[in-house]
Amino acid sequence: MARKLAFINYKGGVGKTSLIVNVAACLAKLGKRVLLFDFDTQSNASIWLLRLERWNKINSTGEGAVFSIFYPGKAKLKDIIVKDVIAGKAGEKLLPGLDLIPTTFNLVDLESEYEGDPRKPPYLLLNEQLRELEPNYDFVLFDCPPNILRASQCGVFSANEVYVPSNPDALSLIGFTLLVEKLHKFHQLTASFRTAEMGTPAAVQGIIFNSIKSGVDNEVPKMRMQLRMNQYKAQRRVAATAKLFETQIRDATIVRRAVALGLPVILVGQETEETDNVLNDYRRLAQEIIKHGEIL
């Protein structure tokens, strides 16, 4: 069965999208079959991987966007997968194995306009359709916005593991704290909908530090995060296996440039020390996530 991972923090700009896109690419490069869901209405992951021209086509009609599956009689999840999403100028596949469920700006309307069966909220509808696709993948990854509203719930309900991208600062700690509280409430509210085959409700498995600047001492904020993690473990609010990930992603300008190039760092192909270093961070992180799966 596919491992299903949500990347979420109640704080924006911590690197959720950069981490998930680059980890997804490294996993695909290792031969894993990866399905990446973009559940953030800002559409950053979709614009990055499809590039503007292809994404604009979806955004202007709404056809092929994840929003369309939530309306009766409209699209099915299996029909909107963009297979091997990263393509070159002539349409050639640059990274086989990385598929995308894209989003567009209209996903925001899901928060106020859901007209489907009230007994089947969006997260259940999505879960039902995802189950048919799961056998085709090793990893299903959900890029979530910094909240647990309807769109995000779709990722959080179907995932079994939660990873929390963080910066070593006080605001990320607040974001983590809020996330754990809201996650707990969401699981309580949805417990009656869960069946054994869905697996365990998504629990925090890891904090991943991102944008680490060299020469800056991060020991105090990291220690605070570790203390909070220990408290939550004692209260069973996070998984017993949860940890601060050893791999940290350093701050590197190539990460920002990669977005403009429409490529994950692994495909940027610039051999500079900075690119090599941060690429090795992403590779190590992908390996650490694979390894973490062995103890779950």
Binding-site ranges for ligand ADP (CB under 6 A) = 12-18, 44, 165, 210-211, 249, 251-252, 255-256, 259
In the complex, the smallest distance separating the C-beta of residue 94 from ligand ADP, rounded to whole angstroms, is 20
In the complex, the smallest distance separating the C-beta of residue 221 from ligand ADP, rounded to whole angstroms, is 16
Classify 30 as helix, strand or coil.
Answer: coil
Distance CA 214, CA 45 (A): 27
- Rule CB under 5 A: choose which of 4, 16, 51, 150 binds Mg ion: 16
| Part of the chain binding Mg ion (CB under 5 A), chosen from 17-25, 48-56, 86-94, 169-177 | 17-25
Buried b / exposed e along 42-67 (16+ C-beta atoms within 10 A): bbbbbbbbbbeebbeebbeebebbbb
Residues 6+ apart with CB under 8 A from 142: 4, 5, 6, 7, 8, 37, 39, 154, 155, 156, 158, 159
In the complex, the smallest distance separating the C-beta of residue 45 from ligand ADP, rounded to whole angstroms, is 8
**Residue 59 touches which member of Mg ion, ligand ADP, none, C-beta under 5-8 Å by kind:** none
**Residue 30 touches which member of ligand ADP, Mg ion, none, C-beta under 5-8 Å by kind:** none
In the complex, the smallest distance separating the C-beta of residue 285 from ligand ADP, rounded to whole angstroms, is 11
For the chain, strand residue ranges (E) read: 3-7, 34-38, 98-101, 139-143, 161-166, 203-209, 243-244
Regarding 46 and contact with Mg ion (CB under 5 A), the answer is no
Pick the closer one to Mg ion by CB: 16 or 54.
16
Q: Which tokens go with 129?
A: 């359709």
Pick the closer one to ligand ADP by CB: 75 or 286.
286
Distance CA 283, CA 36 (A): 17
**Residue 29 touches which member of ligand ADP, Mg ion, none, C-beta under 5-8 Å by kind:** none
Pick the closer one to ligand ADP by CB: 15 or 262.
15
Contact present, 68 and 80 (Cβ < 8 Å): yes
Residue ranges in contact with Mg ion by CB under 5 A: 16-17, 44
